[in-house]
Structure 1
Amino acid sequence: MMVDESSRSRIAALEADNARLRRLLDQQDAPGELRHRLRGTVALLRMIIRKSSESRSDLDSYMGLLEDRLDAIARVQSIADEQGAIELQKLLADELLHYRPLEGVRVRLAGPELALQPRMGQVFALAVHELTVNAIEHGALGSDTGRVDIKWRVSAAGTESKLIFVWNENDTATVGKPSRQGFGTEVLTRTLVYELRATTNLEFEPDGLRCTIEFPLP
Structure 2
Amino acid sequence: MTNPGDVRDRLSAVEADNARLRRLLDEAGVADNLRHALRDTMALVRRVMWRSAETSRDVESYVAHLEGRLDSLMRMRGRTDAFGEADLHLLITEELMFHLVREGERAVIEGPSLRLRPKPAQAMAMAMHELVSNAVEHGPLDVPAGAVEVRWQVEDEAGGRMLTLVWTERGGAIDPDSAMQHGFGREVLETLLAYELGADTSLVFAPSGLRCTIRLPFTDRIGRIAQDPPDPAEG
- Normalised by the shorter chain, which TM-score bucket? 0.7 to 0.9
**2:183 maps to what in 1?**
182
Distance 2:113 2:27 in 1: 37
**1:27 maps to what in 2?**
28
The within-5 A match list for 1:114-153 is 114-153=114-153
Contact 1:92 1:128 in 2 (8 A): yes
Distance 1:21 1:195 in 2: 16
Alignment CA distance shift 1:214-1:52 (3 Å): same
Distance 2:103 2:156 in 1: 32
Q: Displacement of 1:41 after TM fit?
A: 1.2
Report whether the alignment pairs 1:197 with 2:195: no
Report whether the alignment pairs 1:50 with 2:50: yes
2:173 is paired with a residue whose SS is coil
Residue identity matched to 1:174: A
Report whether the alignment pairs 1:102 with 2:102: yes
1:202 is paired with a residue whose SS is strand
Distance 2:182 2:218 in 1: 28
Residues 155-180 of structure 1, C-alpha deviations (whole Å, 9 max, x = no match): 12246212100000000x43256685
Distance 1:107 1:128 in 2: 13
2:127 is paired with a residue whose SS is helix
Contact 1:109 1:150 in 2 (8 A): yes
Q: Structure 2: where are the runs of 5+ without partners?
A: 1-19, 220-235
Contact 2:93 2:103 in 1 (8 A): no
Residue identity matched to 1:106: R
Distance 1:25 1:68 in 2: 30
Residues 180-211 of structure 1, C-alpha deviations (whole Å, 9 max, x = no match): 51110111111111111101111111111110
Matched length: 198
Contact 2:139 2:175 in 1 (8 A): no
Distance 2:176 2:21 in 1: 41
Distance 1:24 1:185 in 2: 30
Distance 1:55 1:29 in 2: 33
Residue identity matched to 2:211: R
Residue identity matched to 2:121: G
Distance 1:202 1:29 in 2: 40
- State TM-score, norm by structure 2: 0.77
Residues 14-59 of structure 1, C-alpha deviations (whole Å, 9 max, x = no match): xxxxx999745642351x3432232111111111010000122332
Alignment CA distance shift 1:22-1:68 (3 Å): farther
Contact 1:127 1:187 in 2 (8 A): yes
**1:214 maps to what in 2?**
215
Over aligned residue pairs, what C-alpha RMSD do you find?
2.2
Residue identity matched to 2:173: T
Contact 1:22 1:39 in 2 (8 A): no
Alignment CA distance shift 1:81-1:175 (3 Å): same
